[in-house]
């Protein structure tokens, strides 16, 4: 949503901070995702961890996407929002028994298995229910995602997945288990990836893994590439929808799909990030000796990404058209890391002005906390104001 098109007068009547979702942009993004994926017959599962707001989930499910879940709570949230159980995949390095049982009871599409010991537990729990669980092996393909260290997941030093060197041993283990069925392989190399060469390398590596599996006479029904496509945090007005056409085209060009195989993806951030904005009010403008601080009523309790990942979010003073000044934009939390940005260009800012922190639709509301006994913010939607 372009600066100046926010309903500022309506915002003034609302308690800040709050999350504001542009439902029209979300729908346009979903149209693009489904159109581009359908060109190649690809299956898309929305990564619920990016944003589990019930209204957002309901809109996404209405476009026919599946759900990628990493907890029992997310499985239940997806079911509540109308995602079909047979389109739900469940990943996560630490699946509790009750979470596995929830997936088994609802006959979800697949468990993305991340270790040999997990494989044994799923087999035991499935046997107790006289069921056979469909599984995919999450394999670390050793592809560098060229992204932040805290959101890189596909290397052998990461806690996720099964290293290539251990794959043969895990495949041997599967042959001894009667209540699991290997239906796919899964790889997720990281998040906020903007270098398409990482995805090219992933497609090539999966081709090699498939060759190794077929040498063992193992044929795979599903190939799952996870998610990871990044967004433009610097220019949300100009690039509100990521390049899904280029993303899917990379895999179509390089992946050697076997007859009858299905190809799956799990985007999260790329679907919801740009439709969400955190709206906060300026409590004080503090004049320091060197710095000028815009102190907001939102903090890392509402948007933790800058504190956790040193992440950039574009900030706009939607109440002011005065000249540009430079501020450190900070929150009220009693922590030195509660800083949204340093040397930020904002229109001249006053107490009571509204600041829009853009691209907050992913890992904003879903990661909010009540640290300092703060209340969780409300969410509002463009089609309901």
Render 18-44 in DSSP notation, one character per residue. Answer: EEEE-HHHHHHHHHHHHHHHHTTT-EE
The answer to whether residues 61 and 154 belong to one domain is: yes
The answer to whether residues 345 and 218 belong to one domain is: no
In a domain, 1, yes or no: no
Q: Which of 239, 254, 271 is the last residue of a domain?
A: 271
The answer to whether residues 373 and 340 belong to one domain is: yes
In a domain, 3, yes or no: no
Residues in CB range of 306: below 8 A, 6 or more apart: 300, 312, 313, 339, 340, 341
Residue numbers of the domain that contains 36? 23-271
The answer to whether residues 257 and 299 belong to one domain is: no
The answer to whether residues 282 and 367 belong to one domain is: yes
Rounded to whole angstroms, the Cα distance separating 221 from 369 reads 40
Rounded to the nearest 10 degrees, the angle between the axes of helix 23-38 and helix 244-254 is 20
In a domain, 137, yes or no: yes
Q: Are 251 and 199 in contact (CB under 8 A)?
A: yes
Which position has the token pair 């109308």?
Answer: 82
The answer to whether residues 214 and 256 belong to one domain is: yes
Q: Which of 245, 271, 297 is the last residue of a domain?
A: 271
Dihedral, 136, 142, 146, 148 alpha carbons, nearest 10: 70
Residues in CB range of 269: below 8 A, 6 or more apart: 47, 50, 191, 192, 227, 229, 230, 231, 362, 363
In a domain, 240, yes or no: yes
Q: Residue 142: its pLDDT value, please?
A: 78
Q: Which of 229, 251, 271 is the last residue of a domain?
A: 271
The answer to whether residues 120 and 44 belong to one domain is: yes
The answer to whether residues 207 and 321 belong to one domain is: no
The answer to whether residues 47 and 147 belong to one domain is: yes
Question: What is the SS3 assignment for 322?
Answer: coil
The structure tokens listed for 206 are: 């999966």
Q: What is the CATH number of the domain that holds 171?
A: 3.20.20.10
Q: What is the pTM of this model?
A: 0.94
Q: Are 137 and 113 in contact (CB under 8 A)?
A: yes
Rounded to whole angstroms, the Cα distance separating 365 from 57 reads 13
Domains contained in the chain, number: 2
The answer to whether residues 195 and 291 belong to one domain is: no
In a domain, 2, yes or no: no
pLDDT in tens, the chain (385 residues): 555 589 999 999 999 999 999 999 999 999 999 999 999 999 999 999 999 999 999 999 999 999 999 999 999 999 999 999 999 999 999 999 999 999 999 999 999 999 999 999 999 999 999 999 999 999 998 776 555 454 444 344 567 789 988 899 999 999 999 999 999 999 998 889 999 999 999 999 999 999 999 999 999 999 999 999 999 999 999 999 999 999 999 999 999 999 999 999 999 999 999 999 999 999 999 998 899 999 999 999 999 999 999 999 999 999 999 999 999 999 999 999 999 999 999 999 999 999 999 999 999 999 999 999 999 999 999 999 9
The answer to whether residues 246 and 331 belong to one domain is: no
The answer to whether residues 97 and 246 belong to one domain is: yes
């Amino acid at each position: 949503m372009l600066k100046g098109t926010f309903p500022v007068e309506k915002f003034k009547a609302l308690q800040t901070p709050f999350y504001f979702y542009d439902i029209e942009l979300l729908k346009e993004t979903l149209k693009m995702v489904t159109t581009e994926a359908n060109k190649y017959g690809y299956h898309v599962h929305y990564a619920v961890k990016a944003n589990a707001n019930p209204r957002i989930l309901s809109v996404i499910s209405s476009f026919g996407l599946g759900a990628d879940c990493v907890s029992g709570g997310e499985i239940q949230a997806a079911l509540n929002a109308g995602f079909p159980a047979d389109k739900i995949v469940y990943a996560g390095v630490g699946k509790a028994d009750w979470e596995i049982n929830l997936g088994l009871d609802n006959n979800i599409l697949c468990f993305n298995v991340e270790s040999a010991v997990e494989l044994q537990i799923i087999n035991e729990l499935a046997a107790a229910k006289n069921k056979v669980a469909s599984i995919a092996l999450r394999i670390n393909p050793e592809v560098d995602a060229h992204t932040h260290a805290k959101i890189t997941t596909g290397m052998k030093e990461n806690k996720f997945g099964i290293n290539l060197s251990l794959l043969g041993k895990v495949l041997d283990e599967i042959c001894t288990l009667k209540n699991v069925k290997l239906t796919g392989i899964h790889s997720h190399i990281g998040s906020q990836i903007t270098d398409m060469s990482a995805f090219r390398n992933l497609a090539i590596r999966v081709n090699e893994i498939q060759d190794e599996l077929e040498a063992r006479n193992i044929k795979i029904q599903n190939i799952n590439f996870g998610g990871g496509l990044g967004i433009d945090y610097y220019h949300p007005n100009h690039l509100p929808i990521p390049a899904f056409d280029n993303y899917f085209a990379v895999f179509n060009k390089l992946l050697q799909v076997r007859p009858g195989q299905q190809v799956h993806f799990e985007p999260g951030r790329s679907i919801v990030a740009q439709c969400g904005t955190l709206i906060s009010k300026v409590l004080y403008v503090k004049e320091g000796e060197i710095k000028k601080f815009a102190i907001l009523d939102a903090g890392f309790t509402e948007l933790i990404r800058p504190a956790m990942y040193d992440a950039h979010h574009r900030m706009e003073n939607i109440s002011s058209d005065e000249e540009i000044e430079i501020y450190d934009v900070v929150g009220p939390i009693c922590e030195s890391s509660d800083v949204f940005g340093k040397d930020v260009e904002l229109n001249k800012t006053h107490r009571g002005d509204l600041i829009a922190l853009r691209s907050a639709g992913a890992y904003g509301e879903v990661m909010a906390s009540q640290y300092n006994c703060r209340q969780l913010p409300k969410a509002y939607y463009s089609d309901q104001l």
